[in-house]
Structure 1
Amino acid sequence: MNNPTRQPPQRMIQLGKVHGAFGVRGEVKLESFTEPRSAIFRYQPWVLRDARGTERTLEGARGRETPKGIVATLPGVEDRDGAEATRGLEIWVAREALPPPQPGEYYWVDLEGLAVRNTDGSDFGVVSHLFSTGANDVLVAQGERERMIPFLVPDYIVSVDFDAGVVTVDWDPEF
């Protein structure tokens, strides 16, 4: 039976990771994927996810940028042992908590699942994921085979059409 009040699952995006204790007062070192790095504290509540996939929601994290990276105070973490217990937790937030991207910018999570076609109409499948090489980002299209396409606009990424659900690429289907 169809339940009309059921909400679709929220899209989540990973914003960081806890790397362990910082000092003896319960502070933790964070890796932040936001730009600037300290912007991670703007997007709350956080969903903390461990390696087994267990999640808990946390609100009220505070922090600061130091020469050694981001340092945070998490509610309920009072000492070094508590801070060490958070090591390895991933920090996720609902996609809706993030501001809309600027024109010509995209959140990777928004591209995942879009169809990928080249300028001649060849179907390359869908966007599986993206990753960074340091030199540039790479779009991974998964279809009859996997293709890795540099995310360089307009060289290889011709257009992104969210309404049509298509990323158009200038890429040889044989490559």
Structure 2
Amino acid sequence: MLPGLESAELPADAIEVGRIADAWGIKGWFRVLPYSASPEALFSSKRWFIQSPAVAGPGAGAVFRLVVVQAKDHSDSVVATAQDVPDRTAAEALKGARVFIARSSFPSTAEDEYYWVDLIGLNVVNREGVALGVVRELMATGPQTVLVMDYEAEGKTEERMIPFVSAFIDKVDLPGKLISVDWQPDY
């Protein structure tokens, strides 16, 4: 990776938020492909953790801390510059690195707004108390987001989907790890 970068360990609450695609310009800027359509976490945090893309050899999987000086939107990506990345050559050395940010550094959400990462793993029950599954992922379908969950049926894992809209979602209890919904198992 890059000499001069500070070695680090990933924080316990690290969330992977993107990947460094390439250098951008000649002054040490680099382009990040965010995993979110709204990459606020990249803009709000000044401490990023990057992990070397190498899977074998010296430095494979090494983690480094980047002190971000500036990050901004650019087309379908984010461009950024960091303290220990002085020029294009240094920025090119970051290509392919995975970008992590501590979850505690994410900006606060408004009421009834949630980060997808916080919903994954929550149990879903309907108004009658019937367990409908555990959220495995969320899927953007254009006009709405859909909860994709796994549940057990006759000894095998099945998939259920529920639109994540106020018409069907009664309550999200993050501390209780529970989502209450107006949905029936046979929908």
TM-score range, shorter chain: 0.7 to 0.9
Deviation at 1:87, TM superposition (A): 2.2
Which letter does structure 1 place at the counterpart of 2:181? Answer: V
Deviation at 1:140, TM superposition (A): 1.6
Pair 1:134–1:14, CA change in 2 (3 A) = farther
**Residue 102 of structure 2, aligned match among 94, 97, 112:** 94
Identity of aligned residues (%): 36
1:151 aligns with 2:151: no
Provide the aligned length of Structure 1 versus Structure 2: 165
Deviation at 1:75, TM superposition (A): 2.8
1:134 aligns with 2:134: no
3-state SS of 2:89 partner: helix
Pair 1:67–1:160, CA change in 2 (3 A) = closer
Q: Which residue of 1 aligns with 2:50?
A: 48
1:81 aligns with 2:89: yes
Q: After the TM superposition, which parts of structure 1 deviate over 6 Å for at least 4 consecutive aligned residues?
A: none
Q: Deviations over 1:114-153 (max 9, x none)?
A: 2111223221222222232232212121221221222111
Q: Distance in 2 between matches of 1:121 and 1:31?
A: 41
Deviation at 1:157, TM superposition (A): 1.6
Q: Distance in 2 between matches of 1:99 and 1:39?
A: 6
Deviation at 1:28, TM superposition (A): 0.9
Instruction: Write the mapping of 1:58-73 to structure 2, written as runs, cut at 5 A.
Output: 58-66=66-74, 69-73=77-81
> Whose strand fraction is larger, Structure 1's or Structure 2's?
2
Q: Does the CA-based 8 Å contact 2:169-2:180 persist in structure 1?
A: yes
Q: TM-score, normalised by structure 2?
A: 0.73
Structure 1 unmatched runs, 5+: 1-8
Structure 2 unmatched runs, 5+: 1-10, 56-60, 153-157
